[in-house]
Structures are given as C-alpha cells and as structure tokens.
Amino acid sequence: MLNASFEPRLIAIGLQKTCFSYSLIEKGNVFALNLFLKKDVESIKPFTKGRSKNPDKMKDAIYTAAPITGCPVLENSAAYLECEVVTIFETGGDHNIVLGEVVGAGENKDGEVKDSLTLLDLGWSYAG
C-alpha cells in the first residue's frame, strides 16, 4: 500500500491480475484493507493462501460489513480502510495498480504503529 495523495486521500496497491480479489475489486469498484497487530498474526493465517489452495478461505471468517462499501472487516483486525476504486492502471505485466479513494476507516483495537503486522514480520517479501 502506498499513499498516493492526501487530498483527496488516495492509496495505491499492486495486485496480481489473476487473483480472485482482483476480479472482485474490478467488478465491485470497492475494496477494504484490514490492518492487523503483530500479536494477532494467527488471525490472518486462514487467509494467506490463494483460492487455488484454499477455495473456501472466507467460509469460517467472522466479519462485519464496512459501513460505506459493505466490504468485509475481519473480526480481529486492528483497523481498516474502505476504498472506492478511482482507476486501475494497466501495467502491461502480471500485476496492475489499483488506485482507491479512502471513503471510510475505523479502528477496532488500540495499538501503536510499531505494533502493526508487516510482511517482514511474517517473513515474506510479497503478498500479491
């Protein structure tokens, strides 16, 4: 996730064109980013494999609908951002850049920035 603008509040994400989430975002023109604390790392494990390896990964997920977009906000997330798609930039590669305007946000748990779960904390360099 990259902050692309403060006014309006825009973020950019790179997303693999063949992943299921990409097709949902492309059709629905909305998405939510769920942010987690390091201490809640086990909460995201069910969602870390692609649909080809885990086709029913949302089956047992506990979530609520985000107030503006209706996107899933996972039960153990510390915070979330709701976004409406502004545009999708075709890169010519296997990923595209999705530019979203933040239209809502919420905090579910107290925490400091240093407590946020990152790819490095998971030992990953990519999450596609």
CATH number of the domain encompassing residue 112: 2.30.110.10
Q: Which of 35, 58, 34, 31 is nearest to 47 (CA)?
A: 58
Is residue 86 one of the residues assigned to a domain? yes
Number of domains the chain is built from: 1
Question: Is there a domain that residue 15 lies in?
Answer: yes
Q: How many CB atoms lie within 10 A of CB 88?
A: 17
Question: Residue 22: enclosing H or E segment and its boundaries?
Answer: helix 20-28
pTM to 2 decimals? Answer: 0.88
Token digits for 7? 């006014």
pLDDT tens-place string over residues 105-117: 999 999 999 999 9
The whole-number average pLDDT for the span 88-98 is: 96
Query: Would you say residue 16 lies in a domain?
Result: yes
127 located within any domain: no
- The whole-number pLDDT of residue 58 equals 76
> Which residue range is the domain that position 64 belongs to?
2-122
Does 7 fall in a domain?
yes
Query: What is the pLDDT, as a whole number, of residue 53?
Result: 62
